Amino acid sequence: MTALSREDCIALDQADPLAPLREDFSLPQNMIYLDGNSLGAQPKASLLRAQQLITQEWGQDLITSWNKAGWFEMPSRLGNLLAPLIGAEQGEVVVTDSTSINLFKAIAAALQIQAQSTDHANRRVIVTERSNFPTDIYMAEGIMRWLDRGYRLQLIDSPEELETAINDDTALVMLTHVNYRSGYLHDMEAVTKLTHQRGALCIWDLAHSAGAVEVQLNQAQADFAVGCCYKYLNGGPGAPAFVWVPRRHQEQFNHPLSGWWGHAAPFAMAPSFTATVGIRRALCGTQPIVSLAMVECGLATFGKTSMNNIRKKSLALTDLFIALVEAQCAHHPVSLVTPREHQRRGSQVSFAHPHAYAVVQALIERGVVGDYREPSIMRFGFTPLYTRFVDVWDAAEILRDILDRQDYQIDLKRNAVT
């Protein structure tokens, strides 16, 4: 692998069946963008879609667009487009609100299901990872504090602890499928099975897996899932998120954000709430239509390939990056954080380095955009729809050059947002 040349990478790109999909995106010149796991690139189609939506649907057709342009149905229509990417059925996904808010709905519903069950009513523990994306933990804290019924979090420090952590006190296991820092990929099927064996329910956050790795929610018998549309799904900055509720749980999916979009008859203006049947009960209020429409442009590219092809290329890209960096930067204090094992790796590669923040800034200066995550992680996301093998080569070369020449400012002050 390390004997590979830049020319070999160009040849890999030429042979890559996904290579033409890069044309769907508008990418900056002279930039190697390895941060699609933070904000996905802009699909070219999104500009035309926004223009059409703003000038015609909003400007000319105005309120008729709620029906005529399908605005009102957009959360479920987009959910159905997204479903195949995560192993979900039609009528099980809506695109709506933010990941945090969807997680709130799922946690609230799951805790209620447990509280109302005969056998599990006294379970009071939510198991999650200390390294989970913080907002997931914060949302669980918010619910626990509000319910004030003795719920508590159990934060584990490694996936191996799940086996002992999940027990008769566990109401809920809440995990992010791919860790945002390390890129660790949980075995969804095994963890869900373990969770169910111990009588708990399992919520998966797919923020770093939807569109990045193969996800089979129904096959894994997962209970609930949420995820983000602005990372690997390229739905635009802050795009509305998604929530998945399998058919078997939909009737019990009750959450306190019971707004009119989740009502059985939203336009009857009845003075009391009756949840609608099906996945739309996960909706709350009116959705931001312009941002929502961008999500469809991101999903369109996925229709031209399969998650299996995407996953194959993702592993090839991350394998290559790991090999190149480890070979070329072996004399520097760079250590791989992301699992080497394919089955445990998402679509990112994280390396630790004592001056990670400064090195990431130097990389950005040189046109290689990854990002920094506390406390010492250089994080690189690989998005098979637009990342080329030659990009991987060049990024590794530039990283080596920066480290060899110590061409980074150690005292660099950290920005608020990296």
Catalytic residues, by residue number, are 133, 205, 230-231, 379
From 143-151, 191-199, 339-347, 355-363, span contacting a second copy (CB under 8 A): 143-151
> By CB under 8 A, is residue 383 in contact with a second copy?
no
Choose which of 108, 166, 243, 329 interacts with a second copy (CB under 8 A).
108
> By CB under 8 A, is residue 391 in contact with a second copy?
no
Minimum CB separation from a second copy for residue 342, in Å? 27
> By CB under 8 A, is residue 114 in contact with a second copy?
no
Q: Which is nearer to a second copy, 41 or 325 (CB)?
A: 41
> By CB under 8 A, is residue 386 in contact with a second copy?
no
d(Cα 111, Cα 224) in Å, to the nearest integer? 12
Q: Which is nearer to a second copy, 15 or 267 (CB)?
A: 267
Q: Which is nearer to a second copy, 190 or 268 (CB)?
A: 268
Q: Which of 37, 408, 92 is nearest to 279 (CA)?
A: 92
> By CB under 8 A, is residue 20 in contact with a second copy?
no
Phi, psi of 378 (to 5 degrees): -95, 120
Cβ 214 vs Cβ 220: under 8 Å: no
Q: Which is nearer to a second copy, 5 or 415 (CB)?
A: 415
> By CB under 8 A, is residue 137 in contact with a second copy?
yes
> By CB under 8 A, is residue 155 in contact with a second copy?
yes
The count of residues interacting with a second copy (CB under 8 A) is 88
263 is in an annotated binding site: no
User: What residues numbered 164-203 form the site for a second copy, per CB under 8 A?
Assistant: none
Q: Which of 35, 312, 339, 2 is nearest to 158 (CA)?
A: 339
Q: Which is nearer to a second copy, 228 or 325 (CB)?
A: 228
> By CB under 8 A, is residue 104 in contact with a second copy?
yes
> By CB under 8 A, is residue 258 in contact with a second copy?
yes
Minimum CB separation from a second copy for residue 154, in Å? 12
CA atoms 326, 331, 334, 336: torsion sign: positive
205 is in an annotated binding site: yes
Choose which of 76, 99, 318, 348 interacts with a second copy (CB under 8 A).
99
Q: What angle do CA 292, 294, 300 make, to 5 degrees?
A: 115
96 is in an annotated binding site: no
Choose which of 125, 165, 200, 284 interacts with a second copy (CB under 8 A).
284
From 5-13, 15-23, 304-312, 370-378, span contacting a second copy (CB under 8 A): 370-378
176 is in an annotated binding site: yes
Instruction: Locate 54 and state its tokens.
Output: 């703003």
For β-strands 201-205 and 25-26, DSSP reports them as unpaired
Minimum CB separation from a second copy for residue 193, in Å? 27
User: What residues numbered 204-233 form the site for a second copy, per CB under 8 A?
Assistant: 228, 230
User: What residues numbered 303-322 form the site for a second copy, per CB under 8 A?
Assistant: none
387 is in an annotated binding site: no
From 64-72, 84-92, 216-224, 333-341, span contacting a second copy (CB under 8 A): 64-72
Cβ 78 vs Cβ 296: under 8 Å: yes
Instruction: Locate 235 and state its tokens.
Output: 């739905």
> By CB under 8 A, is residue 288 in contact with a second copy?
yes
Q: Binding site for pyridoxal 5'-phosphate: which residues?
A: 99-100, 133-136, 176, 205, 208, 230, 260, 286
